[in-house]
Structure 1
Amino acid sequence: MINVLVLSHHSPFDDLHIRDALDMTLIFAAVEQNISWLFSGSAVLALKKHQYPEHIGLKNYFKAIRTLEIYDVENIYVCEKSLLEYGLDKNNLLIAVKALNYQQQTQLITQQRHIVNL
């Protein structure tokens, strides 16, 4: 099995970066790769509970993030600093995640064979 990391840095309301990252994560999970997903910067907002993007004319694909567990995608990480910057904590998120500091993120990245930066 190959270690693959999807990195998300962009706001979920900025183009389709998060949707593309979700699709990519599910594709790698379908072909039984060891997939991880790291949210940093404004991308952490995609994990926030109680959002209604349809109110601003966007499709609500945030609900699909909850299905990751069904596809055995269990390695979901968030940047600890980004959570703080956006006033979030693990209790405000749609799914269970592991918060990583900068050093832990660097270590995670070095353990990967492929990195998809979206």
Structure 2
Amino acid sequence: MKKIAFLFSKSPYGSSKCQDLLDLSLSISFYFEEIALFFVGDGIFQILKNQNPKKIFSNNFSKSFSVFKLCKVSNIYLCKNSLKQRGIISYKNFFMNTFILNSKLFKNKLDLFEAVINC
């Protein structure tokens, strides 16, 4: 069976692309056993808790990431360098459990997947 990675690299608001990728990844998680979620750059903001997008007239779809627990998706990776660049020092502020990898390990892990879908 094909191994599919979803790469979230954009901020959660300002476009519907990231929400579309979230919806796609949730749908595919029911059909494929080996999927993973990768968060890099501004994409790390996708899974931060305590967001208040109503101030910018947006919906908070990020809470939907917690559904992956029900789908038994546990391969969730964050780029440590992206966290550091954005001043995020607490690794407990996310909707789900994650693996935090440096840039090299992050890329190596991503290269293990046959298909990568990016937003």
Q: Same fold (TM over 0.5)?
A: yes
Counterpart secondary structure, 1:5 = strand
What is the aligned partner in structure 2 of residue 69 from structure 1?
A: 69
Q: Which residue of 2 aligns with 1:103?
A: 104
Of Structure 1 and Structure 2, the greater helix share is in 1
How far, CA to CA, are the matches of 1:66 and 1:54 in structure 2?
Answer: 20
> Alpha-carbon deviations, 1:9-62, whole Å to 9, x = none?
111113023212211211221113311010100111111111111232111111
Q: Is 1:116 aligned with 2:117?
A: yes
Q: How much is the aligned-residue C-alpha RMSD, in angstroms?
A: 1.3
- Identity rate of aligned residues, in percent? 25
Partner of 1:71, secondary structure, is: coil
For the residue of structure 1 that corresponds to 2:50, the secondary structure is coil
Which 4+ residue blocks in structure 1 deviate beyond 3 angstroms?
none
1:90–1:96 Cα contact (<8 Å) kept: no
CA contact (8 A) 1:6 1:25 kept: yes
Deviation at 1:68?
1.0
C-alpha offsets along residues 52-102 of structure 1, whole Å, 9 cap, x if unaligned?
112321111111111111111111111101111122231122211111111
Contact kept in structure 2, 1:4 and 1:33, CA below 8 Å: no
Contact 2:37 2:76 in 1 (8 A): yes
CA contact (8 A) 2:12 2:46 kept: yes
Partner of 2:77, secondary structure, is: strand
Amino acid aligned to 2:76: I
Structure 2 unaligned runs (5+)?
none
Query: How many residues get paired?
Result: 118
2:69 maps to a residue whose letter is: E
Do 1:8 and 1:17's aligned partners in 2 also have CA atoms closer than 8 Å?
A: no
Structure 1 unaligned regions, length at least 5:
none
